[in-house]
Structure 1
Amino acid sequence: MVTTNLDKIFNPKTVAIIGASDKEGSVGNAIVKNFTELGYKGKVYLVNPRTPEILGIKTYQKIEQIPGTIDLAMIATPAKTVPAIMEECGQAGVKGAIIVSAGFKEIGSEGKALEDKILQIKNKYAMRVIGPNCIGIIRPRNNLNATFTNKMPKPGKIAFISQSGALGSAILDWANHENIGFSNFVSIGSMLDVDFGDLIDYFGTDPQTKSILMYAEGITQARKFMSAAKHFARTKPIIVVKSGKYTESAKAVASHTGSLSGEDAIYNAAFKRAGIVRVEEIEDLFNAAEVLGTQPLPHGPNLAIITNAGGPGVMATDALIAKGGKLAKLNKKTMDELNNALPHFWSRGNPIDVLGDAGAEQYRTAVEACLNDENINGILIIFTQQAVSKAIEVANTIVNLIKNKTYQNKTIITSFMGYGAVQEANSILNANNIPTYSTPENAIKTYMYMYQYERNVQLIYETPEERPIDTAPPKRPIMAILRNAAKENRELLTEDEAKKLLDYYNFPVVKTEAATTPEEAVAFAHQIGYPVVLKILSPQITHKTDAGGVMLYLDSDIDVKQAFNIIIHRAKKYNPKAEILGVTVQPMISMKGYEIILGGKTDPIFGPIILFGMGGVGVELFKDYSIGLPPLNSTLIRRMMEETKVYQLLKGYRNVQPANLKLLEETMVLFSQLLVDFPQIKEIDVNPLLINEKEACILDARITIDKSKVFKKLEPHEHLVISPYPKKYENPWTLRNGQEVLLRPIKPEDEPMWLEMFQSFSEESIRYRFFQILKDTPHEVRVRYCNIDYDREIAIVAELSEEDHKRILGVGRVSIEPDGKTGELAFIIGDQWQGQGLGTKVVDFVLEIAKEMHVETVYAIMLPDNRRALNLTKKMGFKLDYLSDGTVKGTLDLRDEMPSEKCPEPKSPEPTLEADKKDKATSEKEKTEKIKLENDAPPEAEVTSL
């Protein structure tokens, strides 16, 4: 989240081309021509020690000889020379560099060593670097082509980021042919420094960019990437093509979770969680970008298909079902309208076949009926040119319908099939922002991308909460198990250890004892009670059933002794090198239910992941599973379950009772928290988890650990890519009237209380806070305020509990800008709670947290008559400036303060008011006013900041 100095790259006033050349066809020559012949307005300097001028432009031997400061250095020299050149650039004050040179880590260890040197120099001088091994960047509106390709695209609203230079060059060529424009084009190469997360943050705040398109081969710094994508996906669609979908790099792994959760499936889960749309092909990138910016998003997968030909309707239906969509069920009113208006032989269902001789009026009737049907989320209109059909009339009819505001909340896409006969109709549709496609399949594909985007963005609004410390399971006994295994140089916990760990964490685990002799097994069987189950206990035998290492329904001492010997014999035969520790003895569970697998593993890029799916022996046979990234709450978990076929089974069928889904959700939330709390867990399989309508039980579990993390001091949650609820900032505090409130970070669940607080504000408070009088705030705005990314924003609420009712009295917030160093302060206290010292305390608290988050400067924007906010910020050390737009900007430099190791505990105010102590000579009226000014802090900053 640090975009510092990226402006030096994307808006340079001075550029030095190092490696400029007069050799026609060379990279250095192409770069010079792009800067000098395509209209770039800034100053360009050429660096080449072997020639005095290039293309009539004076050259310099070194960058240090250039007068003034250089914003951007374009480096096009052999790889081995780049570290020394970077050092010279740093000494000369250059803050941005694009390295187009190749020959770095892609060639091996020697190239990697060069990259390491460049990285050290970049950090030393606080430079930003794009590349190496890249094409460069283009900003058409600025006539900036900092690449060695001579293709200058037209200006547009799309920012395109490519990890492949060759593909990027091809895209530029294709976009010019298709008349597609760009706000920015970036080839990022090896991502030594600037990566996808940086660019999403930068383009997210670029007013010329409406959508962000990416070609990605891999992601670096996943937490930064996820945070940036989640932050901007709500307002700017982020669409990605990710290559490597079917890589053959899977290695043999010991757990079901490890074998199922491949790299591509994890990327899919991460993209969904971040609100990113993943498409299949490059063309889909631009199709999706076009439609996401012009059409309302469908709130469901239910599509109505209107066609004048049966075949294309069937093709569209096949494509819709294949991609997870549904044919909308037409309601009775729609059916009646269609029956009255269409010929007797119409299809009488969805797809709606208006027949081949249908004209504009039949299309109008069908489309209007579907627009009024609440069962329908979107409409696909298919037109094929037939003898009496008139494409232009049909197109104009659709346009006129869409102009009616009543119908502007429903998605409409079209497929006018053919070429010459429908070309003008397609132009009419495109001119009115109605997407049209040459085939129904492409139209369906785009519709489902739209639905996927809507669904993914909704996922962003679900922020999980860290488990409360007072109800969390004890961690010391669990760490004792992990340490014991690590001391014995084991990665794999025994089954007995694994189940004990889960039992400590309050999972419903079947009682399990480990026996090393037949006699011990009999003794444990007596303790547990017959019938029992025996299973092989060996670190090397993962799949016990395959080894013949499981025997069921043992109901006597003789059976147990015989089973013990048989299992040991089979295990030795199955794997002669395996270490046989004995057997486990468990009760024979008689409960009937559904078998589920819960799995987890640590991904090298995205950290811990969770797998849910059909369990038992069929887990790898059916491969019915979904993946999520913790922390997860019940809503996110329900979404995970809905992606699987076994979910339909869990809801019950025929005479079988449905599973207790609430209990399953609670178990999965607990499972998610286990992976949040213990980064030492490398892989875990709970398979099967048996669940029915009443209870759940874990029958088997397998856990491997990362020994390197067991004795290492780890920062809290450093292994996660999604920041959990920061429980550490919860603190009680007492108002002046003696009532106790809880100061804590805001949560998504606070939306109803936030609305109640808003509705209690006076018009004056609302005007101060929002700079206008608002009667209400829509759900989307409330969600934005309550559902925040704790990595880039902190909002502290004061919560008052009154018997069975809770309310929010006020909010203080610091929103961190993409540079990571600047934050905007906003605060508001409910009118009836002003004068209690709460405004001062909340603002003080969020400023301390901001300092802990390494924010250097905080500002607040206020109205000039908001005296209470002006006084409060001034008291906090803000310097106030009156701006030309009539507002007041307060600025606080946190670097002037002593560094804070941790956020201090809030303390209740002294019973004697500070204002009384400071000013004995002030009149009673002035004193009262001063107290109000200092302690009440209603609104001040922009609506986007609360």
Structure 2
Amino acid sequence: MSIRHLDALFSPASVAVFGASERAASVGATVWRNLAQGGFAGRLYPVNPKYSHLGQHKAYKNTDALPEAPDLAVICTPPDTVAPLIRQLGARGTRAAIVVTAGLDKAAKQAMLDAARRHTLRILGPNCIGMLVPHLGLNASFAHIGAQPGELAFVSQSGALVTAMLDWAAARGIGFSHFVSLGERADVDFGDLLDFLGSDPKTRAILLYIESIDESPKFMSAARAAARNKPVIVVKAGRSAAGQAAAASHTGALAGSDAVFDAAIARAGMLRVLTLHDLFLAAETLARFRDGPSERLIVLTNGGGAGVMAADEAAALNVPLAPLDDAMLRRLDAVLPGNWSRANPVDIIGDAPASRYVAAMDALAQDTASAVLFIHAPTAIVPSTQIAEALLPQVAKAPHRMLGCWLGDRAVAEARRRFRDAGVPDFNTPEEAVRAFSFLRTFRLHQAELLETPPARDAALAPDLPTIRAIVDAVLAEGREILTEPEAKSLLAAAGLPVVPTRVVGPSAAEAVAVADALGYPVVIKILSHAISHKSDVGGVRLNIGNADELREVCTSMLARVCQLRPDADVQGFTVQPMVRKKHAHELIVGASVDRVFGPVILFGAGGTAVEVLADRALALPPLNTPLARAQIARTRIHKLLQGYRDEPAADLDGIARVLVAVSQLLAEVPEIAELDINPLLANHEGAVALDARVRVSAQRPAGAANFAIRPYPVELVETLDWRGGPLTLRPIRPEDEAQHLAFLERLDPEDIRLRVFHSRRSIEHSELARLTQIDYAREMAFIATRPLPAGGEETLGAVRAHVDPDNDVAEFGVIVRSDLKGSGLGRRLMGKLLDHLRQRGTRRVEGTVLQENSAMLELARSLGFQADACERDDRSVCRIALDL
């Protein structure tokens, strides 16, 4: 991932257009016209040997003739000219190019990239529309229309969609900070732009149109970083799961690529919508209402019909309407006429004057946990503008609690404008408003998942790795990939999962009877064959066999049926297991497969023989912990049944979650696992047990923590040592350290804080604490030093942090030790831990900024080999220190 030289792409001082012309309907002419007429204040250079001038601008024959190296080059010339132009531009010092040219074959594209890489020249395209930066008047595209300045960034993989969206947005007055067509993404891709736009101060929200993702770890890392700062909203084309039907497991059949993409979006803290209209609807809502209540809704309306429409949409989208408690009913009764609805939606009747709106809103303000959807239909009794004016003092106090829906057009236009100016998101219909609120609820759930960074290994679920390795190695050594059911169950048992006892017998009814007599009836018998994966499909499973005579008959008929349907299958015998009967039990499925883009993925849902028909499943990317596993369970329809109903007790959800976490750990520890099914996993209030299992392994090692799209908590970096007569732990910070980290910061002297961050701090907000503790280990590292407390738990004594640029070139560091421990050597230990880590990850250079008066830090830096640059003087003296690694 890299944002290197993207400033030259999006904020150039000079632009040259190669292939600029006056030829009507040509790409070069359109790009040049858009650029020349767009209001760009920088220097413009048309390059084409056929012209001496294009309009008022002098034209140049080639790269060497240009008076300077342009910051940005836009290339509209034939495919065979692209690589030579990139080579010439890079040699002159150009650092960014937009390759509009289409038709580059594989060799030409690689030659272009090779030429660019030598000079770290960044390329947008090829085969792209170009891009627009409206606040600079920069229109380096061949779009038919420009874009208005605004705070939304739009990045599209489809060039045709770019032009359509520009037209659509212009008609609705929607403005943009950046509008980018990615084209074939030979260099600059979604990950690069998420990195750049995520920290761009002019961008309030990022909108993406995606057709495919190539480098999922890069994309996920950039997306998670951007989504911590601002809303990232995605439309993805291609929602079918074609090509999955041939998978060997139920999980493979159910885990279509689009469902995996949904899981990735959720884990990255982004929001996915299905239409372009919803893309902007969600952007409006999240930008204006991001800090508002999101759990439940109160509808306040002057029209019963509009309220019913809102309630219907809320029911369809599972948006809860807040109940009105007795205290709220009394408050509303006191200010509303007797024929008001006395329920939510709160219908204050169509003849309501402005004062009734104000009184009702005052009463509803007591429920701070609910958002208020205000719906108004214009009447002849009181002008809508008067109502808006009366409500503005309340709205201004808490705009983040209210959504507005002024029904109509010209009669409510001024009222709508005043609400929007006050910061209230506005919607055309009740259904649209409720749908927008549902986006907010989903976004909040995804943001919660973003904060979870579990380890790949859970110490409480330590698997028996030698046993697992022996099973996997033996299967692969035999040239097989599919484990037999007994092998699969042995593997799961070694991983700590609950499995039903299973015995293997030959193709003899007498052996089966002997084993069943020992286990006790009733029993289950299944065919055993390396060639048969789905045993039920060939009549290879019989349940609830009650005695020896029945078992003999079943064995004989089952063998005959399997031989008839699968004469090619080599039958080794049968497996026999006790018939598990659990009261109030549910049949579930837990599985794992490997997606070609996002790597290992875990499935949970309703199980049994109709699993594909029901298709009730939720996917999640590993690593998982209990909160993430519980969230995955909650995304299924069967979750409602698992919670209990009537006289049915709730299932052991924590036990089910432990199964999911154990599967996550198995994927991390055993990279050979390619597919896994536990179906059914029988679960009730007493726990869960795997009745059947299917596992496929591969010598290609598609799983393993190294292939996870999300980097796990790096438990391997945890180190415990002796310090001052007791244990000291140096470890990466975790999201759950927030309270502990706050206690550490509160024990720092104000002067120490000033020396660290250059100003005094009176308080620290939760959002900032979250940024300090919820980090992406792929691009940032924070080590803390902790020691145990006598009463239990631990305390933080110091912290060191480095943020690495996306190129892994330079890391910016900071270190601080609790004020009462200064001079103890703790800072040196933390710095040593950080520098060792950065060396191992290949970071080139470490830099920091230190106040000149912070002599202790400067002395520590010098002792570690840092060099200090000349200090800069303004109102204070600041030194820049650096260490080449």
TM-score range, shorter chain: over 0.9
Q: 1:332 to 1:774 in 2, by over 3 A?
A: farther
Matched, 1:228 2:218: no
What is the deviation of 1:741?
Answer: 0.4
SS in 2 for 1:15: strand
Pick from 797, 809, 813 the counterpart of residue 801 of structure 2. Answer: 813
Alignment partners' CA distance in 2, 1:131 and 1:854: 29
Q: Which moved more, 1:457-466 or 1:519-528?
A: 519-528
Residue identity matched to 1:633? N
SS in 1 for 2:97: strand
Asked if the contact 2:199/2:229 (under 8 Å) is kept, the reply is no
What is the deviation of 1:870?
Answer: 2.3
Matches within 5 A, 1:620-659: 620-659=612-651
CA deviation vs aligned residue, 1:328-347 (integer Å, no higher than 9, x gap): 11122211011121111111
Residue identity matched to 1:41? A
Aligned alpha-carbon RMSD (Å): 2.4
CA deviation vs aligned residue, 1:118-162 (integer Å, no higher than 9, x gap): 333333432211111111111122222111125232221111111
What is the deviation of 1:889?
Answer: 4.9
What is the TM-score with the length of structure 2 in the denominator?
0.95
**1:696 aligned residue:** 688
Asked if the contact 1:860/1:889 (under 8 Å) is kept, the reply is no
Pick from 746, 754, 757 the counterpart of residue 733 of structure 2. Answer: 746
Alignment partners' CA distance in 1, 2:862 and 2:137: 44
Asked if the contact 2:15/2:70 (under 8 Å) is kept, the reply is yes
Matched, 1:534 2:525: yes
**2:391 aligned residue:** 398
Asked if the contact 1:814/1:847 (under 8 Å) is kept, the reply is no
SS in 1 for 2:435: helix
Residue identity matched to 1:182? F
Asked if the contact 1:742/1:799 (under 8 Å) is kept, the reply is yes
Alignment partners' CA distance in 2, 1:579 and 1:352: 69
Alignment partners' CA distance in 1, 2:49 and 2:711: 50
Alignment partners' CA distance in 1, 2:53 and 2:241: 49
| Aligned-pair identity (%) | 38
Residue identity matched to 1:640? Q
**1:36 aligned residue:** 36
**1:135 aligned residue:** 129
SS in 1 for 2:537: coil
Alignment partners' CA distance in 1, 2:648 and 2:283: 46
Matched, 1:545 2:536: yes
Matched, 1:424 2:414: yes
Alignment partners' CA distance in 1, 2:85 and 2:380: 70
What is the deviation of 1:189?
Answer: 1.0
Matched, 1:561 2:552: yes
Alignment partners' CA distance in 2, 1:521 and 1:63: 84
Matched, 1:314 2:314: no
SS in 1 for 2:676: strand
SS in 2 for 1:860: strand
Alignment partners' CA distance in 2, 1:600 and 1:323: 29
Alignment partners' CA distance in 2, 1:888 and 1:576: 85
What is the deviation of 1:309?
Answer: 1.3
Count, aligned residues? 881
Q: Which moved more, 1:474-483 or 1:132-141?
A: 474-483
Pick from 599, 609, 619 the counterpart of residue 601 of structure 2. Answer: 609
SS in 1 for 2:571: coil
Matches within 5 A, 1:13-52: 13-52=13-52
What is the deviation of 1:424?
Answer: 1.8
SS in 2 for 1:545: helix
**1:934 aligned residue:** none
Q: Which moved more, 1:255-264 or 1:186-195?
A: 255-264
**2:451 aligned residue:** 461
Asked if the contact 2:805/2:811 (under 8 Å) is kept, the reply is yes
Pick from 376, 379, 386 the counterpart of residue 379 of structure 2. Answer: 386
Q: 1:313 to 1:471 in 2, by over 3 A?
A: closer
**1:706 aligned residue:** 698
Asked if the contact 2:800/2:830 (under 8 Å) is kept, the reply is yes
CA deviation vs aligned residue, 1:504-539 (integer Å, no higher than 9, x gap): 111111122333321443444355444321112234
Matched, 1:868 2:856: yes
**2:253 aligned residue:** 259
Asked if the contact 2:299/2:375 (under 8 Å) is kept, the reply is yes
What is the deviation of 1:590?
Answer: 3.0
Residue identity matched to 1:817? D
Asked if the contact 2:867/2:883 (under 8 Å) is kept, the reply is no
Q: 1:2 to 1:854 in 2, by over 3 A?
A: farther
Asked if the contact 2:587/2:681 (under 8 Å) is kept, the reply is yes
Matches within 5 A, 1:206-355: 206-246=200-240, 248=242, 250-355=244-349
Structure 1 stretches of 4+ moved >6 Å: none
**2:12 aligned residue:** 12
Alignment partners' CA distance in 2, 1:399 and 1:611: 48
**2:473 aligned residue:** 483
What is the deviation of 1:52?
Answer: 4.8
What is the deviation of 1:413?
Answer: 0.8
What is the deviation of 1:468?
Answer: 5.2
Alignment partners' CA distance in 2, 1:455 and 1:708: 35
Q: 1:706 to 1:366 in 2, by over 3 A?
A: farther
Residue identity matched to 2:681? L
Matched, 1:125 2:125: no
What is the deviation of 1:51?
Answer: 4.7
Asked if the contact 2:224/2:450 (under 8 Å) is kept, the reply is yes
**2:820 aligned residue:** 832
Alignment partners' CA distance in 1, 2:524 and 2:686: 23
Unpaired runs of 5+ residues, structure 1, are 105-110, 898-946
**1:800 aligned residue:** 787
SS in 2 for 1:861: strand
Alignment partners' CA distance in 2, 1:205 and 1:62: 36
Q: Which moved more, 1:23-32 or 1:676-685?
A: 676-685
Alignment partners' CA distance in 2, 1:37 and 1:775: 50
**1:577 aligned residue:** 568
Q: 1:841 to 1:654 in 2, by over 3 A?
A: same
**2:497 aligned residue:** 507
Alignment partners' CA distance in 2, 1:84 and 1:559: 80
Alignment partners' CA distance in 2, 1:77 and 1:580: 65
Pick from 819, 825, 830 the counterpart of residue 842 of structure 1. Answer: 830
Pick from 495, 510, 513 the counterpart of residue 485 of structure 2. Answer: 495
Alignment partners' CA distance in 2, 1:427 and 1:57: 43
Pick from 776, 783, 786 the counterpart of residue 789 of structure 1. Answer: 776
Alignment partners' CA distance in 1, 2:473 and 2:69: 56
SS in 2 for 1:394: helix
Pick from 846, 866, 871 the counterpart of residue 858 of structure 1. Answer: 846
Unpaired runs of 5+ residues, structure 2, are none
Alignment partners' CA distance in 1, 2:696 and 2:353: 67
What is the deviation of 1:793?
Answer: 0.9
SS in 1 for 2:414: helix
SS in 2 for 1:782: helix
Asked if the contact 1:69/1:94 (under 8 Å) is kept, the reply is yes
Alignment partners' CA distance in 2, 1:336 and 1:238: 42
CA deviation vs aligned residue, 1:66-95 (integer Å, no higher than 9, x gap): 344333221112334433433343444432
Pick from 563, 587, 591 the counterpart of residue 595 of structure 1. Answer: 587
